Structure 1
């Protein structure tokens, strides 16, 4: 049977000699025997017991409680190892989940290095117009809903917001190229469906709200001018196409 001195065990277990002395003094881990000169000597049984002690210490269990556990007559090393294995597996799962969370947070922070500001949120409007538009939306839909919509945009990060704006531009260009088509043309309605889905990325758009949005394009000069820069008559064309889409219960009828 291999015998370990206190220094050999200290090196093997990567704990200090003083700690082993302390465990001996409090009766937590007694050496198997002592040499003629009084030096502590340990066998494999003590190594296994020390392993258990260190496992329980990793779980932040006080030494007094560890002593009660390992000194219990029913204490079984194999069952204890099975218990520790399960605990370690759960810890690994927890740490893996934390790593996923950290990676996700890091990615979001990288995408949001330059936070989206109010100017970016209301690009296309003059500062005074943007402020007025925002206040009108609050008056109509409520401040909470307005703030939720703005937060959803900010959460996209600069990359996501840029992609969103590119989709907006593509939809507007497509609709501008269709001015002169009948509003109920299936080709127009497919683009309007894209427009509707795009709007729902800002906030939940009901049929009534979508109709109201269409009317806003022709009744509010600021929105009319925004669309007219693409092509004359575009604001009215979109409003008419939206009416058809809503009449068809927010579906494209082919």
Structure 2
């Protein structure tokens, strides 16, 4: 049975304002509403909300979560399995730290003596091994592959690729005030798609997600917009159109 926003907020223990914010940014927008205009959350909406909260618990920013769950390659079961691995690893570390606190309290009472190594047991500043797996699955795996391919190229080849990159970006910058759906824009964005696949391995879904990253990540936006303000957003839109139009 569909639930109103207040009912969902009470069920989960989050604020109505948070759910409204998720709706406003397009992260979770219920398709149903009452005649009075109140949002109605279906079972599918609640399942997606659970997924969003798992990602949030693991430190993913909302913009990235939106990008991930809207990707055509997103697999909910796969995501849940990886979330479980990451949370178990997080629990293992927390259990160790709790044990260290308990020992420290006992030492303060004079019950035990701790070695210097024991004092810092549980502090682990290395990365959660499953965080890297998550980054590769939902982050910038394709970008890393691209960078690795570039690094293996000869200096002459890198110079030629740099010139081609510059040519494509300038062409797209000249088109950025027009429609991303135009024949000219789609022809130019196809050149970019072919350019990337000449070096790496980009599926249409990954290409679309990369375009979204151009806007979500300020570093991408800043560098791309050096060719012309608004180019990053234009490329994002053109890449999404290209990916959607070329699905088999």
Q: Do the two structures share a fold, i.e. TM-score over 0.5?
A: no
Normalising by structure 1, report the TM-score: 0.42
| Superposition TM-score, scaled by structure 2 size | 0.43
Return the index of the structure with the highest Cα Rg: 1
Q: Larger RCO: Structure 1 or Structure 2 (Cα < 8 Å, ≥ 6 residues apart)?
A: 2
